[in-house]
Amino acid sequence: MTEHRVLIVDDEAPARDRLRRLLEAIEGCRVCAEAGNGTEALEKAAEHRPDIVLMDVRMPGMDGMDAARELTAQATPPAVIFCTAYDDYALSAFRVDATDYLVKPVRREALASALSRAGRVNRPQSRQFAPEDNPAIVVRNQAGVERVELDRLYYASADNKYVTLVHDRGETLCDYSLRELEQAHGEHLLRIHRHTLVNRRYLEALTRTQSGHQAQLSDPAGTRLRVSRRHAGSVREHLQG
């Protein structure tokens, strides 16, 4: 069995000790070094060449986000798993190609699952083999952090204060606005109504009815969604293109 070298990065020694104890109970992982901030993490990573980095976010000096950004930009980057007390950095974490995002107190089962995923070819490394990434919308909910991969998302619909993501596993509520989703993933999501974004890959046809235009999706349900007059032209242009 391959043993993965793990670098623990946290500015609090008790937090590092706890992660070390958790790792000792997980087969296939070995702590190769520890660091107390982002700058030290880069130094330790260059010295020990870890396969996986467990990274805190808020640290003095260089924080975890900046350190992760530099690590994942390397030619052969380690997989980065964020372990933090704050749940509001999840979207930023996946924008720097983090493999996973765990909220403290980290449970052994959640850590083992994240390490298992990270032990496979991680997202930055996979670019050497795949023509494009597999981006996702990162959602915080009562269960923790959920990733809704864009290639599985059919459409996003706004209703009152929440946005519902409709995908192949069901529906997920999120607190991002449609505008935020459109700005972050405009190459994948197309505005068809002030209340609706659709995934371009599932947009199949534009039809006209007595009440106006409708978008036909290629999802299993054969969903039809209202298209506003304002956005009908961009839908037609996308289909023709």
170 vs 105: CA distance, rounded Å: 29
Question: Percentage of the chain surpassing pLDDT 90?
Answer: 56
- Judge whether 216 and 230 are in contact, CB under 8 Å: no
Question: Given a cut of 70, is residue 132 above it in pLDDT?
Answer: no
The pLDDT of 86-96, averaged and rounded, is 71
pTM of the predicted model, to two decimals? 0.56
Question: Where residue 116 falls among pLDDT bands split at 50, 70, 90?
Answer: confident
107 vs 22: CA distance, rounded Å: 8
Q: What are the tens digits of pLDDT across the range 147-167?
A: 788 999 999 999 877 899 999
* 147 phi, psi to nearest 5 deg: -105, 125
The pLDDT of 191-201, averaged and rounded, is 96
User: What pLDDT, on the 0 to 100 scale, is given for residue 147?
Assistant: 79
The pLDDT of 64-78, averaged and rounded, is 88
User: What pLDDT, on the 0 to 100 scale, is given for residue 139?
Assistant: 77
Copy the structure tokens of residue 214.
């409708």
Question: Where residue 206 falls among pLDDT bands split at 50, 70, 90?
Answer: very high
44 vs 130: CA distance, rounded Å: 29
User: What pLDDT, on the 0 to 100 scale, is given for residue 174?
Assistant: 85
Question: Given a cut of 80, is residue 75 above it in pLDDT?
Answer: no
Q: What are the tens digits of pLDDT across the range 9-24?
A: 999 999 999 999 999 9
Question: Given a cut of 80, is residue 210 above it in pLDDT?
Answer: yes
Q: Which of 178, 189, 112 is nearest to 151 (CA)?
A: 189
User: What pLDDT, on the 0 to 100 scale, is given for residue 2?
Assistant: 67
Query: Does residue 189 sit in helix, strand or coil?
Result: strand
The pLDDT of 106-123, averaged and rounded, is 77
User: What pLDDT, on the 0 to 100 scale, is given for residue 125?
Assistant: 46
Q: Which of 191, 223, 229 is nearest to 204 (CA)?
A: 223
Question: Where residue 91 falls among pLDDT bands split at 50, 70, 90?
Answer: low
The pLDDT of 76-80, averaged and rounded, is 88
Question: Where residue 98 falls among pLDDT bands split at 50, 70, 90?
Answer: confident
User: What pLDDT, on the 0 to 100 scale, is given for residue 121?
Assistant: 44
Copy the structure tokens of residue 152.
């599985």
Question: Percentage of the chain surpassing pLDDT 70?
Answer: 89
User: What pLDDT, on the 0 to 100 scale, is given for residue 213?
Assistant: 94
